[in-house]
Amino acid sequence: MAACDAENNIAVVGKEEVMMGREMQWLRIDSYYSGDLDNPTTLSQPVMCQHCEQAPCEVVCPVAATVHSAEGLNDMVYNRCVGTRFCANNCPYKVRHFNFYQYQDTETPIIGLRHNPDVTVRSRGVMEKCSYCVQRINEARIEAKKEARDIRDGEVVTACQQACPTQAIVFGNINDHNSQVYKLKQQSQNYGLLAELNTRPRTTYLTKVTNPKSEIKQGDA
């Protein structure tokens, strides 16, 4: 999450705003608990924009400020955004975050040095969300174009992927059937979050395979 915040110039909104439910983070970790109340098992699920194929947020935007790119990303066009917030209401994952105030300090010159120069600093009144680190994709594409080739699998590494110590996040081209992400998506435990809404999320998860019954010894199954 820290990597995501730093990479994407995500504003620090302060305690009061977070208490109001206006936290600003493109990636959140949902925790689910199971088992005994005193000593529960914790299951973590990182949730960011799912980049749905049939995105509910895109259809309801009156000014087409959130649209599909040719590569399949769900793009958020900040300078087109008027701020009706309908997209956030209609997002089943609630991964869209609104700039209720001018959260970013654009006046103090030194603050500018802190920002990632490849990422827009969002102003008041616009919606923002995970972009799959589109600036890294673009950088890789430029490099690839210079060498007149396609982007190689694993060439684009998102900030969260880079920072994840257990390498739980994989990013790549799902149209490339040789890519790691395509192969992982073929596994039977692959599922989409709230896929029953027919949003066809592009981000998918792999179910954790556990051995819940301790009497079954390892190796029996």
Partner 1 sequence: MQYQETRRTPAEVLAEPVLGSVQTYEQITDRIASIVLTDKIQLGWLVALTIAMSMLGMMGVSLLGLFYWGVGVWGLNNRVDWGFDIINLVWWIGIGHAGTLISAILLIFRQEWRTSINRFAEAMTLFAVACAGIYPTFHTGRPWLDWWLGPVPGVSTGMWPNFRSPLVWDVFAISTYASVSILFWYVGLVPDLATLRDRAKNKYIKVIYGLFALGWRGSAMHWKRYNTAYTILAGLSMPLVFSVHTVISFDFATSQVPGWHVTIFPPYFVAGAVFAGFAMVLTLAIPLRHVYGLQDFITMRHINNMAKIMLATGIFVVYGYFLELFFGWYSGNEYEMALTYNRLFGPYAWSFWALIFCNGVVPQLLWSTRVRSNEVVLFGIANVVSVGMWLERFVIIPVSLTRTFLPASWGWYFPTRWELSLFFGSIGLFLTMFFLFIRVLPMISIFEVRELAHHKMHEH
Partner 2 sequence: MHAENTQPPVYGLMVEFDTPETLVEATRQAVAAGYKKLDAYSPFPIEEVSDLVSSVRQKFHTLPLLVLGAGITGLATAFLLQWYTSAINFQIFNFWRVIIDGYPINIGGRPLNSWPAFTVVMFELTVLFSAGTAVLGMFGLNGLPLLYHPVFNVERFSLASTERFFLCIEAADSQFNLEKTQKFLEGLKPTNPVEKVMSSEYFSEGLEWAELL
Cβ distance to partner 2 smaller for residue 55 or 76: 55
Verify binding: residue 200, partner 2, rule CB under 8 A. Answer: yes
Tokens of 123: 């102003």
Verify binding: residue 67, partner 2, rule CB under 8 A. Answer: yes
Whether 75 and 66 have beta carbons less than 8 Å apart is answered as yes
Pairing of the two strands 66-68 and 41-47: unpaired
Residue with tokens 């880079």: 162
What is the residue type of 142? I
- Measuring CA to CA, how many Å separate 207 from each of 15, 45, 184? 34, 10, 11
Q: What binding mask, one character per residue, do residues 63-102 give for partner 1 by CB under 8 A, x or -?
A: xx---------------xxxxxxx-xxx-xxx-xxxxxxx
Q: Which of 16, 36, 62, 64 binds partner 2 (CB under 8 A)?
A: 64
Verify binding: residue 46, partner 1, rule CB under 8 A. Answer: no
Which residues 6+ apart lie within 8 Å of 104 measured at CB?
9, 11, 121, 122, 123
Verify binding: residue 68, partner 2, rule CB under 8 A. Answer: yes
Tell me the HSE value of 153 on the side-chain side, using a 13 A CA sphere. Answer: 12
Task: Identify the H or E element spanning 145.
Answer: helix 134-146
Read off φ and ψ for residue 34, nearest 5 degrees.
-145, 160
Positive or negative CA dihedral for 150, 152, 153, 158?
negative
Q: How far apart are CA 145 and CA 143, in angstroms?
A: 5
Query: Which of the choices partner 2, partner 1, none does residue 53 contact, using the CB cut-off of 5 to 8 A by kind?
Result: partner 2
Q: Which of 2, 30, 106, 111 binds partner 1 (CB under 8 A)?
A: 30
Minimum CB–partner distance for residue 137 and partner 2 (Å): 17
Q: What binding mask, one character per residue, do residues 149-168 give for partner 1 by CB under 8 A, x or -?
A: --------------------
Verify binding: residue 85, partner 2, rule CB under 8 A. Answer: no
Stretch that binds partner 1, among 62-70, 164-172, 202-210, 213-221 (CB under 8 A): 62-70
Residues that bind partner 1 (CB under 8 A): 17, 20-23, 28, 30, 32, 47, 56, 59-64, 80-86, 88-90, 92-94, 96-102, 124-127, 193-194, 197
Name the site residues for partner 2 (rule: CB under 8 A): 52-59, 61, 64, 67-68, 70, 200
